[in-house]
Amino acid sequence: MQICPPALPGDVQLDEQGRLRHFLDIQGLPRALLTDILDTADSFRGIGDAQVKKVPLLRGRTVVNLFFENSTRTRATFELAAKRLSADVLNLDIGTSSSSKGETLRDTLFNLEAMQADAFVVRHSDSGAAHFIASQVTPHVAIINAGDGRHAHPTQAMLDMLTIRRHKGEFSNLKVAIVGDILHSRVARSQVHALKTLGAGEVRLVAPLTLLPSQVDAMGCRVFTNLRQGLKDVDVVIMLRLQKERMDGALLPSEGEFYRYYGLTRETLAYARPDAVVMHPGPMNRGVEIESAVADGPQSLIMDQVTNGIAVRMAVLSMAVSGQTQKGAA
Is 176 within 8 Å of 204 (Cβ atoms)? yes
Q: Hey, what amino acid is at 71?
A: S
Q: Where are the beta strands (DSSP E) in the chain?
A: 62-67, 88-93, 119-124, 142-148, 175-179, 202-206, 222-224, 236-239, 277-279
Furthest-apart CA atoms within the chain: distance in Å: 59
User: How many other CB atoms sit within 10 Å of the CB of residue 230?
Assistant: 23
Query: Is residue 123 a known part of a binding site?
Result: yes
Is 174 within 8 Å of 182 (Cβ atoms)? no
Query: Is residue 74 a known part of a binding site?
Result: yes
DSSP bridge pairs for 176? 203, 236
Concatenating the DSSP letter of every residue in 16-56 gives TTS-BS-B--STT--HHHHHHHHHHHHHHGGGGGSSS----
Q: Hey, what amino acid is at 169?
A: G
Query: Is residue 282 a known part of a binding site?
Result: yes
Query: Is residue 283 a known part of a binding site?
Result: yes
Query: Is residue 101 a known part of a binding site?
Result: yes
How far is residue 262's CA from residue 260's CA, in Å, rounded to a whole number? 6
Query: Is residue 156 a known part of a binding site?
Result: yes
Query: Is residue 40 a known part of a binding site?
Result: no
Binding residues for carbamoyl phosphate: 73-74, 123, 153, 156, 282-283
Binding residues for L-aspartate: 101, 186, 241
Binding residues: 73-74, 101, 123, 153, 156, 186, 241, 282-283
